[in-house]
């Protein structure tokens, strides 16, 4: 065998090849020194082979892809949609997820994009209402709390299949689940966004749609009758979108203390608006199917509470926007309004925010004190308080007239007016706006069509004071039932413990009775409803009417939640103290 020393020519190309095939120069050196072979002579052949293999692989993949595309049905689910949360929630509860050998363990299954992290605890084992917990907390709170805190530290783990392809069966169909990461797009600070694919064999995707419907149902059923709240906020792509932020137990309407007439007018109006007949009525007459309410009054008088209670009563979701948000632009607000579902409550808080409060002309409604405005507003509310849809104003010139610059002032009045009832504005929603300063608002915002009913909230009058007292102290049927059930359970346990200690011959020291502990913890006192009503009158005698907000009164009563008698005795002192504090704050403010 003759040895051909590597020629200058063949070796000069090696460093360049090294950039493509790292280590090639070392291997080439090894071959030439020990085996006396110049492998650089084969470079072109290697490249040719590699190209052929790559081309064949690409062809095969393309053919396979086409084959798959033709003979399978696939649904793609993107992370920026709520369906992602449905599917992941459902998948995490399937047996194949638990058995898979490649999984992702996390404390939540939602996308983190569409779904706010607070919500991740929603389906955790929250047994705060559990009667067993109440018994043990009444027996020995410290050890109950230690256990509770220990449990809370351990967040339930959600196991979902890792990236890649997984197969499982759904209603006897073989389904392929694929999870992919979009490495090219970074998702805020977190990991890149993901895409999910579910596929089945055949050209009929119905089974996949059924799967998604089941996933949606499982996800939605978990909410029960809770009120779901979405918030309009910026996502990591810097776009505004609705983010589900919490699910709250519905607030009974009866817990909102407000003049019964006003309360029932508000609810009846919403019910009538949601009636299918009304929808047709609006459409037949060419009137945009929208309804707006303005709730106004000082802070802490129950505006948000009424809105939440109404949403709970009507099983509607709340879409919350705060006009005070520094990052909310007019475009963002318009986008949020365009992506509202058909039936929902949009809660627009603080409509007296900077840009909106700038009236079209300074000569409009002069600014007055809160109390007098409240009365005026109530009067105007009465005028507008009609379930008949108000006619659209003939001219919408008010939308375009606004000359105020919105730069750095948030959403301007003209933009808000356009968004609320512009041509592109969605239909079917219920708009509830709240403000502490109705006197600052331009009449254009309050005109029928934009605001169809106004509800005025004010400081607590005598009736409100009594109702708030009753709301805290009157025995509730559900609590009486559960307290007596707990007491019965505790009594049985006590009896069993007693028998046990007798059997063991422990006559010893007796611990205080559990059932008496519970009644001490839960029952305010053994006052009858009539007596509580009597006390409510006494309480109302001691608090001046029209001076304090319901929130302030509720705060005071909560300090004495176990003793209405104490609340009555300390009421006058609290009034004096609160007045002094307010005066002090005012002096500091000046």
Contacting residues toward ligand ATP, per CB under 6 A: 255-258, 299-305, 436, 457, 550-551, 554
Strands in 425-576 per DSSP E: 430-435, 453-456
Q: Which is nearer to ligand ATP, 328 or 486 (CB)?
A: 328
Residues with Cβ within 8 Å of residue 525, at least 6 apart in sequence? 562, 563, 564, 565
* Shortest distance, position 483 Cβ to ligand ATP, whole Å: 23
Which among 385, 384, 374, 386 has a CA at the least distance from the CA of 456?
A: 374
Q: Which is nearer to ligand ATP, 230 or 457 (CB)?
A: 457
Written as six digits, the tokens of 348 are 């627009």
Q: Rounded to an integer, what distance in angstroms lies between the CA atom of residue 212 and that of residue 498? A: 55
* Shortest distance, position 578 Cβ to ligand ATP, whole Å: 15
Q: Do residues 26 and 39 lie in contact, with contact meaning Cβ atoms separated by under 8 Å?
A: no
Q: Which is nearer to ligand ATP, 256 or 431 (CB)?
A: 256
- Tell me the CA distances in angstroms from 505 to 191, 493, 499, one per residue in order: 64, 18, 10
* Shortest distance, position 237 Cβ to ligand ATP, whole Å: 30
Q: Which is nearer to ligand ATP, 304 or 374 (CB)?
A: 304
By beta-carbon distance, which residue lies closest to ligand ATP?
A: 302
Q: Which is nearer to ligand ATP, 336 or 471 (CB)?
A: 471
Q: Which is nearer to ligand ATP, 109 or 378 (CB)?
A: 378
Q: Is the dihedral of CA 80, 86, 87, 91 positive or negative?
A: positive
Tokens 């090219």 identify what position? 184
Q: Do residues 152 and 124 lie in contact, with contact meaning Cβ atoms separated by under 8 Å?
A: no
Residues with Cβ within 8 Å of residue 429, at least 6 apart in sequence? 290, 319, 340, 341, 342, 343, 344, 345, 346
Q: Which is nearer to ligand ATP, 300 or 389 (CB)?
A: 300
Q: Rounded to an integer, what distance in angstroms lies between the CA atom of residue 70 and that of residue 64? A: 10
Tokens 């047996």 identify what position? 95
* Shortest distance, position 551 Cβ to ligand ATP, whole Å: 3
3-class SS of residue 187: coil
Residues with Cβ within 8 Å of residue 43, at least 6 apart in sequence? 13, 17
Tokens 């979009």 identify what position? 182
Helices (H), 523-563: 529-542, 550-559
Q: Which is nearer to ligand ATP, 88 or 532 (CB)?
A: 532
Q: Do residues 550 and 302 lie in contact, with contact meaning Cβ atoms separated by under 8 Å?
A: yes
What interhelical angle do 529-542 and 564-589 show, nearest 10?
Answer: 30
* Shortest distance, position 187 Cβ to ligand ATP, whole Å: 33
The torsion angles phi and psi of 439, rounded to 5 degrees, stand at -65, -20
Containing 441, the helix (H) or strand (E) segment is none
Q: Is the dihedral of CA 185, 186, 187, 190 positive or negative?
A: positive
3-class SS of residue 345: strand
Q: Which is nearer to ligand ATP, 46 or 551 (CB)?
A: 551
Q: Which is nearer to ligand ATP, 85 or 262 (CB)?
A: 262
Q: Which is nearer to ligand ATP, 85 or 304 (CB)?
A: 304
Written as six digits, the tokens of 362 are 């300074």
Q: Which is nearer to ligand ATP, 303 or 359 (CB)?
A: 303
Burial environment of residue 117 by CB neighbours within 10 A (0 to 12, 13 to 18, 19 or more): exposed
């Amino acid at each position: 065998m003759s040895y051909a020393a590597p020629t200058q020519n063949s070796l000069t190309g090696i460093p360049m090849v090294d950039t493509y095939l790292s280590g090639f120069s070392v291997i080439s050196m090894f071959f030439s020194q020990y085996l006396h072979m110049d492998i650089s002579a084969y470079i072109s052949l290697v490249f040719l082979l590699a190209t052929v293999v790559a081309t064949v692989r690409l062809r095969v993949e393309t053919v396979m892809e086409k084959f798959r595309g033709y003979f399978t049905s696939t649904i793609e689910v993107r992370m920026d949609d709520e369906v992602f949360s449905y599917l992941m929630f459902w998948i995490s509860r399937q047996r194949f997820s638990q058995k898979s050998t490649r999984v992702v363990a996390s404390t939540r299954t939602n996308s983190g994009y569409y779904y706010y992290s607070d919500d991740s605890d929603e389906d955790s084992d929250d047994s705060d209402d559990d009667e067993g917990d109440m018994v043990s907390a009444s027996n020995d709170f410290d050890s109950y709390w230690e256990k509770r805190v220990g449990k809370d530290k351990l967040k339930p783990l959600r196991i979902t299949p890792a990236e890649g392809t997984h197969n499982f069966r759904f209603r006897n169909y073989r389904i392929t689940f694929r999870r992919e990461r979009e490495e090219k797009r970074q998702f805020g600070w977190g990991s890149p966004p993901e895409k999910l694919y579910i596929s089945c064999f055949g050209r009929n995707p119905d089974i996949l749609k059924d799967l998604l419907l089941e996933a949606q149902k499982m996800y939605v059923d978990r909410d029960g009758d809770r009120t779901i709240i979405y918030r309009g906020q910026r996502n990591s792509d810097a776009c505004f979108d609705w983010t589900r932020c919490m699910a709250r137990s519905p607030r009974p309407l009866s817990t909102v203390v407000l003049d019964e007439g006003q309360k029932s007018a508000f609810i009846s109006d919403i019910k009538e608006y949601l009636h299918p007949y009304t929808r047709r009525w609006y459409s037949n007459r060419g009137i945009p199917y929208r309804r707006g309410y303005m709730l106004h009054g000082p802070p802490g008088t129950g505006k948000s509470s009424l809105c939440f209670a109404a949403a709970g009563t009507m099983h509607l979701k709340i879409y919350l926007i705060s006009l005070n948000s520094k990052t909310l632009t007019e475009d963002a607000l318009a986008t949020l309004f365009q992506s509202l579902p058909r039936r929902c409550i949009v809660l627009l808080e603080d409509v007296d925010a900077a840009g909106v409060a700038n009236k079209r002309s300074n000569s409009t409604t002069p600014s007055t004190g809160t109390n007098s405005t409240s009365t005026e507003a109530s009067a105007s509310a009465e005028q507008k308080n009609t379930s008949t849809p108000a006619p659209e104003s003939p001219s919408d010139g008010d939308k375009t007239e606004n000359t105020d610059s919105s730069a750095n002032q948030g959403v301007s009045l003209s933009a808000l007016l356009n968004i609320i009832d512009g041509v592109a504005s969605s239909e079917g929603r219920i708009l509830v706006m709240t403000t502490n300063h109705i006197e600052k608002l331009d009449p254009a915002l309050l005109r029928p069509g934009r605001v169809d009913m106004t509800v005025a909230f004010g400081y607590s009058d005598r009736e409100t004071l009594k109702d708030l007292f009753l709301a805290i102290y009157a025995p509730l049927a559900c609590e009486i039932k559960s307290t007596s059930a707990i007491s019965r359970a505790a009594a049985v346990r006590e009896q069993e413990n007693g028998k046990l200690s007798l059997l063991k011959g422990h006559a010893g020291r007796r611990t205080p009775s559990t059932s008496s502990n519970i009644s001490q913890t839960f029952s305010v006192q053994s006052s009858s409803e009539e007596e509580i009503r009597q006390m409510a009158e006494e309480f109302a005698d001691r608090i001046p009417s029209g001076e304090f907000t319901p929130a302030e009164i509720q705060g005071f009563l909560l300090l004495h939640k176990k003793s209405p008698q104490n609340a009555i005795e300390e009421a006058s002192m609290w009034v004096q103290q609160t007045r002094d504090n307010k005066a002090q704050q005012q002096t500091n403010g000046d």
